[in-house]
Amino acid sequence: MSKWVIGIIGGSGLYALEGLEGAEAVTVETPWGAPSDQLVKGRIGDVTLVFLPRHGKGHRLSPSDVPYRANIDALKRMGCTDVLSISACGSLKEAYAPGEYVMADQFIDRTFARQKSFFGPGMVAHVSMADPVCSRLSGLAGDAAEAAGVTVHRGGTYLAMEGPQFSSRAESFLYRQWGCDVIGMTNMPEAKLAREAELPYATIAMVTDYDCWHDEAEAVSVTNVLEIMQQNTERAKEAILTLARSLQGTSRTPSPQGIETCLDFAMITAPTARDPEALKKLDAVAGRVL
């Protein structure tokens, strides 16, 4: 029976995950440098969770400085079968209020200062990002969040901005015109890298504010974000544990979207032209096909 090993990437406010059985901190080295922090591996029954704080303990790393490639590589090396991202975000819709969660299933990537692929010179590959989120994992996580007492919105477009500054009003209004639902700084290139690593990915976008477009709400500031974030974090922890409990005794089958085999037809560079040094760095991410 295939077991669930779920990587949990904790966003702003979520720097530790209590309640795991047999929890141990693990230092992982990757060809892409060190991940954000040590990974903590533990169990809830027969489900394994591997927790990684995206910004490091104490929130040491800004969104632009998060080692996204190292983080995804480390989770892959730890044997993760799936990755669930927990992220604070701003709402671009009246109906998505602070304290509520959005199970984003689409992304618009407006980041520009980050390494966005494991592939490049010496080994080129192109994966599909048409449907960047694993619908099964997103559904299970949404169910768990609802069971934890959170109002959950299923589906939505997440606008990933570079940051670290928040939006101008003009930007906020523009993104609303584009039809975006929430705005954040960290789900890209994270989702792209998870896909390249053949890891089903889903995100819980925890709304902390209305960005700055809302005429009747205070423009986003660190103070009011932190207040909502603290409330969201405790419920996110409960949702994660609820998700693990809901999977007890179940056998994990491949993602219905075929994510675990997405590299089968993605490799472009001919075998004779592949750079051996580039291939060494891909041992965990693409070892299945290389």
The C-alpha angle 104, 233, 35, rounded to 5 degrees, equals 75
What local confidence, expressed as pLDDT, does residue 212 receive?
Answer: 87
pLDDT score for 156: 98
- The span from the CA of 92 to the CA of 185, in Å, is 14
Q: How far apart are CA 16 and CA 290, in angstroms?
A: 35
Q: Is 46 a catalytic residue?
A: no
Determine the number of helices (DSSP H) and then strands (DSSP E) in the chain: 6, 11
- Residue 145 to residue 126: CA distance in whole angstroms: 33
The pTM (predicted TM-score) of the whole model is 0.96
Give the residue ranges of the chain where pLDDT is below 70.
Answer: 1, 216-225
Q: Is 209 a catalytic residue?
A: yes
Residue type, 195: R
- Residue 214 has what pLDDT? 82
Task: Report all structural domains of the chain as residue ranges with CATH numbers, in order of start.
Answer: 5-281 (3.40.50.1580)
pLDDT at 23: 97
Which one from 73, 211, 275, 283 is the annotated catalytic residue?
Answer: 211
pLDDT at position 224:
67
Which among 82, 109, 181, 209 is annotated as catalytic? Answer: 209
CA torsion, ordered 126, 267, 203, 48, to nearest 10 deg: -170
How far, in Å, CA of 56 to CA of 11, rounded?
9
